Every structure is written in C-alpha cells, then in structure tokens.
Amino acid sequence: MPHNNLTLLTLDFETYYDTQFSLSKMTTMEYVASDMFKVWGVGIKLEDEPTSWHGPDDLDVLHDIDWANTALLCQNTLFDGYILYRKFGIRPAFYLDTAAMARGLNPSESARLKDIAVRYFPEDETMRKGEELVNAKGIVDLPPDIEAQIAGYCIQDVELTYAIYNKMEFPESELEIINLTTEMFCIPRFLLDEETVHEFLAAEKANTAAKLEASGLTRKLLASNQQFAAWLEEQGFTVPTKKSPSTGKDIPAFSKNDIQWKTFTLKHPDLKHIFDAREVVKSRIAETRAERFLAAAHEDGKFPVPLRYYAAHTGRFGGTDKINLQNLPRKSILRRALLAPKDCYVYVADLSNIESRMLAWFAGQDDLLAQYAAGEDIYCNFASGIYNKPINKDDNPTERFVGKTAILGLGYGMGAQKFKGTLAAGAAGPTVSISFDEAQSVVHNYRSTYSEIDMLWTRCNHFLHEMHSSNNRQGSVTNFYDTYKSIGIHPNSISLPNGLRLRYPQLTPLQEGGFRFQGKKSYEYTYGGKLTENIIQALSRIVITDAMIRISKIEDLDIVLTVHDEIICIGPKSDAQSRFNAIIEAMCIPPTWAPNLPLAAEGGYDLSYSK
C-alpha cells in the first residue's frame, strides 16, 4: 500500500481562538484565511519517537521534513492538513486521519479524540485528552507559562492520536479513500468562477425581493409556519395538515414535498404569488450556498472540496464545513462555476443504476441482471408491464418515469400508499396522479415480477434476528448464500467485503414488529426492507470507492469530488477521449466478490463541472 514504506509523522497544530473567532463560528476555510489566524505551535512525532513541541518562532522545522516520503497522521486531518498546505505550502505523500477511521469503524459513536481515547483505553486514565486549551482562549501571543501548558496539551493529543492509530485495525483500501478525500480539500484543484457566482447571488437576491414584494406579505409572516397558517385561516382557507412523526398530532403540511401541500397549491392557483414568495423565503439554500462558495475560495481562485468520509451509517460521503456538494442540483449555475485549471478538463463519470443492479445481484434476480447486462432500458421494460403496451423513452416519458420510480423505490419494500404519494409529490420528476388501487397493482406487479427481491426482505429480517440472537454466541458467523457474496452476520453487525461493518448497536426486537438500535443521536427503527437498503447502499458504495482507487492510479488524473454514484476528476485536455475511456473502463470492472455484476457508466468532459 502507498503509505507502508513512508515515514509516519503525527502532527497537531494549536491555533489562536476566542469567543467569536473559532471553528464553532466559522468554516475551516474562513478561519484559516482570516487575518486573525495564528499558529501558537505544533506538536510533531516522527514514528515512535517522543513528541516535540515547536512554538511560533520555530515553525520552520516543518520545512526540514522529507514530505515526499512522509505520511501525515492527524486527528481531523482536514484541519491540520489544510493548514499545512495553505499556510506552509506543504503536501505530504499520504494523509491518514484517526477521526475518519473512527467514523468508519463505529459510525454511530463519537469521533472526537476525547471519546475515542476512552473507548480504546477504558482503564488507562493517563490516556485522556487534556483540558488546558481553554486557558489560552483569547490570548494572541502566549506568555511562557501558558505556552508550556498548551505545549503539554498538544503533546498529549499527538501521543493519543498515535496510540489510537496503532490500536485501530483498518482496511488498507479504506485508508486510500481517506487519503483521496483529504486531498480533495487540502490540495484543491477546482477553480471557482467568482464572477459567475456573484452574478448568481445578485440574481437570487433580486428574485427573492421581487417575489416578496409581489406577495404583499412580510418576510417574517411567510417564514413562520404558525403565522402563515393563521393568515390562511383569516383568508377563509382550510390549512392542509399532516401527522407529526414525533408527536402524532396534526401539524401544518407546508413542506414542498408534502402531498397535502401540493394538492392545496394546485387547488388555489390564484395564490401562486403567495406560494412562490413563501418558497423563496423559506428556502435560501441557493443564496447561502453561493455565499459559502465565495467565502471558501482561496486568493488564487482555488476551491477546496470539503467532503466527510463515512458521513452515513452505510459509508456514504456527506458534506462538511457548511458546504454540501452532494446535493448540488444538476445544471445548476453554481455547478458550472467549478472550473478546471488552464489546459485541463473536468471529467465526470456516473455509474448507471448501481443500487438497482446491486439489489438484483444480491437477491439473485437473474432475469433483471440479464436485462442490465444486455443494456436494456429497465424502466421502460417494467413500465410496459404496468401499462400493458410497449413503452419507450422518447414517446412515453411519463409512463417511463412511473417505471423508474417503481424500480428505484419498490426494491426496499415500499407500499402502495407511499408509492402513490411519491408519484404525486413529483420530487424527482413530473407529478403523476394515480389511485390507490392502481398503486397497489404496480406494487403487486413489482413483487411478483421480481420475486427474488421480495424474498430478500424476509431473508434480511432473518438476518436481524440472527444478529440479535447471536449476541449470546460471540464469534458466530453465518455467510449469506455463497461465500463470494462476502457478507457475514455477527452479533449486532454485518461484515462487508471491504473489511468494515454495518453496525446495529443494542439491536432489540420490538413487540409491534421490527427492531430498534442505537443510532448516533437516538434509537433508530429497522426491519427487513430497511436492512436490505442498508446492505445494498453499503455494497454499492464499495463498488464506487474501488473505482476511485483504480482511477487515482491513471496518470495525470486527480479525483476532485465524488457525488453519490459519480466520480469527478481533473486532467489534461490532451488525449481527452482516451483518458475518459480509461475512466469508464475503470468504473465498469466488477468487484472480485461479485464477478457477474453487470456495470455500466456514462459521462463526459468539459471546461467546468457541467454534467
């Protein structure tokens, strides 16, 4: 593996902060770029040597290190590695991060150094994070006694980080993914078209102001569910309601995806100017995102990509530092404002229908796999069965959309009422209205057509029972189907082919059916269909990250982002088509544990992230 022959250097920066100037108030990019930013000192540990402290007048020591042959280890390397590059111009050969590793190993538990230390050294009180940092709060230039305290605090953090790293058993392939994710942020390759973002921001603000003025209502009234509901009642309208998931009581159904709200807006087209104003007031995401893009950009226009490794229980990535590129709309102006450097292209490739393909493979739904392998349009195929006539993409877009919604939505046990509501909400396409009986017919059609998938939900429910019952049989492992499928059932967890696990701490059966387990913040509910979804998403994610590793080995290509099933790279313009073909080829290699999984990818290349 790339880091095995490198010198391991564990590092921790201590930096000035006060009540308002801190990472709790600012993004990492804003904090490090500020004129107030100051490094108090840095703790450095080479291999297993004792940690040394270097104060503000001794930071040149960083340039004495052979970084080309050094792996950098930190607790939250997105912070320390970012400082190292932006302030000192230093790029190590490899990035390691105990916080990221902790999330991968225990997604539902805290990844703070304080909490990890207690988990790994529960009986050793000497292995605890100190609390001296608060003594330096608000002090720009540390006096000798306070600097001595901060030095000891920093040294303890470095020693803890090193000790925890050596305790962790972590898959080599996932260390490569942590390295790639950290590089996206610390060594930015995107350029931000700031002029375009400024124009977009001005247009969004003008649009909001115009719609607010047209409504004749105040921003405060439109932003408040309670005040808006009262205003509707004063005008003689019945407020649409829904059941609160937390209290079970009726509450206003004002979410743009609530079917009750959609029905209400369609019934009262004369209030469209009110609805439009409320939407722009309630959802300032475009304005906020544009402002954060501008705040994140470096002086030279470079745009760091903050991506959170193992943000989800299933291993999926997420946004961090108040920027989430995972939900940046396709064809968005902000998306096109992310540019390739001079003489380069942005290469984008997307795995097609990966979850549906993985579900068919995992369930043993061979007829569906065969359709994918033959390159058929699965959505049209299933829609043809729904409507009892041939459906094609060009002539029957709405019918195909119903087939697509069924294929992507019904594979995890969705029922008729939810399917009907999903089509009516139109969140991912046109609004389609069907009766409950029609929805029930589609659900029945799906389950009878893909009976192996239907049976998989029952098998996954059995896995839950096995995970629970095997708590009393430590070390029990039951392989699913054949060994090449590479999942194992363990007490409160499922092992995955990348060496990590889906974890369900304190898994407990419920009298009313299903199970609960301890999530990150509260108990979560699961059942056979939900576990199916977790497994499929986790396996699909491994296919994508394996492809990332292969693509990272292609000469002159830098991976700069991954969004769901999409991998985004920057590389030279020269020989662009062959380079793009190499990316597609790398993405379509099935994993060794699923050699008959048919994969397909598509995409393109442009001067910006335009796909």
Angle CA 345–588–566, to nearest 5: 50
Same domain for 170 and 103: yes
Pairing of strands 70-74, 7-15: parallel
Which CATH number do you get for residue 149? Answer: 3.30.420.10
Which CATH number do you get for residue 331? Answer: 3.30.70.370
CB contact at 8 A, 139 and 19: no
Instruction: Read off the pLDDT of each residue in 182-205 and give the average, rounded to a whole number.
Output: 97
Final residue of a domain: which of 187, 219, 244? 187
Q: Provide the terminal-to-terminal Cα distance of the chain, rounded to the nearest Å.
A: 33
CA distance 328 to 330: 7
**Residue 153 is assigned to a structural domain of this protein:** yes
Final residue of a domain: which of 187, 208, 227? 187
Same domain for 413 and 554: no
Instruction: Read off the pLDDT of each residue in 423-431 and give the average, rounded to a whole number.
Output: 80
Which residue type occupies 35? Answer: D
Tokens 């790293």 label which residue? Answer: 165
Would the pLDDT of 480 be above 50? no
CB contact at 8 A, 69 and 7: yes
Would the pLDDT of 403 be above 80? yes
Same domain for 181 and 54: yes
Concatenating the DSSP letter of every residue in 547-559 gives: HHHHHHTSTT-EE
CB contact at 8 A, 130 and 14: no
**Residue 484 is assigned to a structural domain of this protein:** no
**Residue 360 is assigned to a structural domain of this protein:** no
Q: What separation in angstroms does the CA of 414 have from each of 353, 387, 410, 447, 541?
A: 18, 20, 5, 10, 22
Same domain for 582 and 562: yes
Same domain for 67 and 198: no
pLDDT of residue 72: 98
CA distance 264 to 54: 64
**Residue 11 is assigned to a structural domain of this protein:** yes
Which residue type occupies 350? Answer: D
Q: Which domain holds residue 387?
A: 366-449
pLDDT of residue 255: 86
pLDDT of residue 470: 67
CA distance 452 to 359: 10
Q: How many C-beta atoms surround the C-beta of residue 227 within 10 A?
A: 14
Final residue of a domain: which of 163, 187, 211? 187
The overall average pLDDT reported for the chain is 93
Same domain for 399 and 422: yes
**Residue 40 is assigned to a structural domain of this protein:** yes
Return the exposure string of 351-380: e unless at least 16 CB atoms fall within 10 Å of the residue's CB, then b: bbbbbbbbbbbbbebeebbebbeeeebbbb
Instruction: Read off the pLDDT of each residue in 133-141 and give the average, rounded to a whole number.
Output: 96
**Residue 417 is assigned to a structural domain of this protein:** yes
Same domain for 143 and 247: no
Same domain for 214 and 90: no
Would the pLDDT of 370 be above 80? yes
pLDDT of residue 248: 78
Same domain for 44 and 177: yes
Would the pLDDT of 482 be above 70? no
Beta-ladder partners of 191:
302, 339
Concatenating the DSSP letter of every residue in 477-538 gives: -EE-SSGGG--EEETTEEE-TTS-EEE-TT-EE-TTSSEEEE-SSSEEEE-HHHHHHHHHHH
Task: Quick: pLDDT tens for 261-301.
Answer: 888 998 899 999 999 999 988 888 889 999 999 999 999 99
Domain count, the chain: 4
Angle CA 319–320–324, to nearest 5: 35
Task: Quick: pLDDT tens for 503-540.
Answer: 999 999 999 999 999 988 889 999 999 999 999 999 99
Task: Quick: pLDDT tens for 35-66.
Answer: 999 999 999 999 999 999 999 999 999 999 99
Concatenating the DSSP letter of every residue in 318-372 gives: EEBTTB-GGGPPTT-HHHHTEEPPTTEEEEEEEETTHHHHHHHHHHT-HHHHHHH
Same domain for 131 and 229: no
Same domain for 422 and 334: no
Same domain for 173 and 118: yes
**Residue 502 is assigned to a structural domain of this protein:** no
CB contact at 8 A, 129 and 114: yes
SS3 state of residue 409: helix
Bigger pLDDT: 241 or 477? 241
What residues contact 24, with CB distance under 8 A and at least 6 apart?
A: none
CA distance 91 to 59: 16
The reported pTM is 0.92
**Residue 492 is assigned to a structural domain of this protein:** no
